[in-house]
Amino acid sequence: MAPLHIEIHGDADPSAPAVVLSSGLGGSANFWQPQIPALVAAGWRVLGYDHRGTGRSPDALPPGHAIADMAADLRAAMDAAGVARGHVVGHALGGLIGLQLALDDPARVASVAVVNGWSRPNPHSARCFDARLALLAAGGPRAYVEAQPIFLYPADWCAAHAERVQAEVEHAVAHFPGEANMRARIAALRAFDIDGRLGDIACPVLVAASQDDTLVPWTCSERLVRRLADVTFDLAPHGGHAHSVTTPETFNRMLLDFLAAQAAAPAALPGRSLNPGVPA
């Protein structure tokens, strides 16, 4: 298999406390540009990587490519960067990868932040993916990518940032990973189901969700919260599926607070909710 594209930001010392960023379906480390400067400024060594078969990690994904394979790739990226143990921050699919690695190799994972993720398939997200795959089949990559902002961002944010959104669309079309790879990645996340194993995840987990997420119901995050052993829950009222992009200042404060708590007391931090009134 081809090596993965990895990038290191901040402290070059492999022994420095590390945050490992894993993006969603698009797979590119560039997704985390709104977070990287804030993490570096807070003193974290930051590892980003492009998922296999996407962006700067081109490869043909084999039949049956699964989240467990993506978790093995995450471990390989950590190995290449000299990160023995890190705090994994994952958006959607990237969050699933973090949870899977916490199950498969818990010694490598200090904590996981799951942003708009889930533990098992749900019918609404399945409907969204069916629609996206139908667009891909009927209209090709252009039709598929043109619809992507509808699922990622709130309508008001898209309207206010129309030029930026269109630039993202053009970039995504130019770097589309191919229909076969996209179908393989969607199939992997649709097959993901660790609902019965959530209690086996021992590390602290931040579950972050947005109530107006069009793609993944926030109740999927609530389900994670009710089944994880050591959990912090942050529920944003607005921002969409990619609220780390649409409301970066608020998101970054929340994430940095969680990471600082892990650095201060990684073995003793109890689960809690960052939002009063939201069950933890």
35 backbone dihedrals φ, ψ, rounded to 5°: -105, -30
* Structural domains of the chain, count: 1
Asked whether residue 223 is assigned to any structural domain, the reply reads yes
Instruction: Report strand pairing: 45-49 vs 6-9.
Output: antiparallel
Residue-number span of the structural domain to which 141 is assigned = 6-273
Q: Indicate whether 195 belongs to any domain.
A: yes
Q: Digits of tens for pLDDT over the chain (280 positions)?
A: 789 999 999 988 888 999 999 999 999 999 999 999 999 999 999 999 999 999 999 999 999 999 999 999 999 999 999 999 999 999 999 999 999 999 999 999 999 999 999 999 999 999 999 999 999 999 999 999 999 999 999 999 999 999 999 999 999 999 999 999 999 999 999 999 999 999 999 999 999 999 999 999 999 999 999 999 999 999 999 999 999 999 999 999 999 999 999 999 645 444 444 443 344 3
List b or e across 168-186, with b for residues whose CB sees 16 or more CB atoms inside 10 angstroms.
bbeebbebbbeeebbebbb
Q: Is residue 280 part of a domain?
A: no
278 in a structural domain: no
CATH of the domain at 201: 3.40.50.1820
In a domain, 1, yes or no: no
Residue 279 maps to a domain: no
Supply the pTM of this predicted model.
0.94
Instruction: Answer yes or no: is 49 within a domain.
Output: yes
